C-alpha cells in the first residue's frame, strides 16, 4: 500500500504527485476554470454529453461562476487548448459533493475521467477536505466499475427516483434512481487506487445470486440469504433503453427492490466485478 504515514503535508504532496501522473498518462492538463468564456465552454461540453432539452440546461454559466467564486470545485481538462473534460462540485457538510462531470465523446477511452477525479482528490486534500460524495445511475455498468472498483468509492445509500423526472437524452423515461457513494480521500486504499491499475478482487464462490439475467436478458430475482449476495446488471443499459425500453424498465424495478432493499437493511456493497455484478455482504444475524 502507498505510505501516507508522514502526516497531512505528505498526504497532500503525494496526492498532487498522483494527479500530475494521471494527467501525463491521459495527455491532458487539468486546472480550475475562472473566466466567463471558460464557463460557457464548459456548459456547452456538458450539454453535448447529456443532451438536455434546449430550455432545460443541466448547468448554467452563472451557476458555475457562483460555484467558482464561493470556493467550490470547477475544473476543466485540456488537450492542448481544447476543453475535453469538465468536473464540477460544491462544498457540502461532508466535504465536497461532486455534482456533474463529462468527457467529450471523441476523447473517451483515455482515462480523462480518472484524471479529473484524481485532480479533484488532490484539490480537496490541499483544502483539508477529506471526503467527496457523488451519485451515479447504478444500472450503468461502466460507471459502477469506475466508481467502486477503480476509484475505491464506497456505496452509502440507494436513492429511488432521486432527481424526479429527467428529460435529457441519457435519462429520459427511465426514472432517476441513484447510488450515493463516498470517497474517503485519506484512505490508503484510495491513495493506492489513484496511482496503480485496479486488480480485480476474487468473487466469493458462495455468493447467492440475488439478481441475475435469464436467456432473454430479463432480470430474475434469486435468494438473498447467506452472507454474500451478487446482484447483476446489464452490460449495456444505454443500448437496452433504446432498443428494449420495457426490459430496461424491468431492470430498474428489479435493481431498486434487490440492491435498494439490501442496502436499506444494512448490507454493504464490497465490490463490483468486470462482468457486471455488485457484491454485497449482509449483516450477520443477531
Burial of 44 (0-12, 13-18, 19+ CB in 10 A): middle
pLDDT tens for residues 223-274? 998 899 999 999 999 999 999 999 999 999 999 999 999 999 999 999 999 9
pLDDT tens for residues 67-98? 999 999 999 999 999 999 999 999 998 799 99
pLDDT at 171: 62
pLDDT tens for residues 132-165? 999 999 999 999 999 999 999 999 999 999 988 7
pLDDT at 3: 40
- Contacts of residue 154, Cβ cutoff 8 Å, sequence gap at least 6: 148, 181, 182, 183, 184, 269
> Helix or strand or coil: residue 39?
helix
Mean pLDDT of 196-214: 84
Confidence of residue 285 (pLDDT cuts 50, 70, 90): low
pLDDT of 202 above 80:
no
pLDDT of 197 above 80:
no
Sign of the C-alpha dihedral, residues 185, 189, 192, 197? negative
Q: Give the domains, in start order, of the chain with CATH numbers.
A: 8-193 (3.40.630.30), 208-281 (no CATH)
CA dihedral 86, 102, 273, 17 (to 10 degrees): -10
CA atoms within 13 A on the CB side of 35: 4
Mean pLDDT of 5-23: 89
The mean pLDDT value of the chain amounts to 92
Percentage of residues of the chain with pLDDT beyond 70: 93
Amino acid at each position: 500500500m502507498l505510505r501516507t504515514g508522514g502526516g497531512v503535508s505528505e498526504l497532500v504532496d503525494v496526492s498532487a504527485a498522483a494527479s500530475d501522473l494521471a494527467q501525463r498518462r491521459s495527455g491532458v492538463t487539468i486546472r480550475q476554470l475562472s473566466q466567463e468564456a471558460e464557463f460557457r465552454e464548459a456548459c456547452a461540453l456538458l450539454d453535448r454529453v447529456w443532451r438536455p432539452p434546449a430550455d432545460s440546461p443541466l448547468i448554467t454559466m452563472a451557476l458555475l461562476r457562483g460555484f467558482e467564486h464561493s470556493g467550490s470545485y470547477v475544473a476543466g481538462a485540456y488537450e492542448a487548448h481544447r476543453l475535453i473534460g469538465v468536473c464540477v462540485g460544491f462544498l457540502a457538510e461532508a466535504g465536497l459533493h461532486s455534482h456533474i462531470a463529462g468527457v467529450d465523446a471523441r476523447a473517451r477511452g483515455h482515462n480523462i475521467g480518472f484524471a479529473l477525479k484524481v485532480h479533484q482528490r488532490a484539490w480537496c486534500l490541499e483544502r483539508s477536505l477529506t471526503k467527496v460524495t457523488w451519485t451515479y445511475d447504478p444500472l450503468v455498468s461502466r460507471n459502477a466499475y469506475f466508481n467502486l472498483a477503480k476509484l475505491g468509492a464506497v456505496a452509502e445509500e440507494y436513492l429511488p427516483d432521486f432527481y424526479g423526472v429527467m428529460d435529457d437524452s441519457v435519462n429520459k423515461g427511465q426514472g432517476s434512481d441513484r447510488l450515493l457513494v463516498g470517497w474517503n480521500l485519506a484512505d490508503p486504499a484510495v491513495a493506492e487506487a489513484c496511482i496503480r491499475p485496479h486488480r480485480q478482487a476474487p468473487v466469493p464462490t458462495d455468493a447467492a445470486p440475488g439478481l441475475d439475467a435469464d436467456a432473454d436478458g430479463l432480470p430474475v430475482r434469486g435468494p438473498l440469504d447467506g452472507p454474500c449476495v451478487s446482484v447483476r446488471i446489464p452490460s449495456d443499459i444505454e443500448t437496452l433503453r433504446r432498443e428494449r425500453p420495457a426490459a430496461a424498465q424491468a431492470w430498474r424495478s428489479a435493481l431498486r427492490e434487490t440492491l435498494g432493499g439490501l442496502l436499506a437493511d444494512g448490507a454493504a456493497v464490497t465490490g463490483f466485478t468486470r462482468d457486471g455484478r455488485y457484491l454485497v455482504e449482509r449483516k450477520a444475524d443477531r
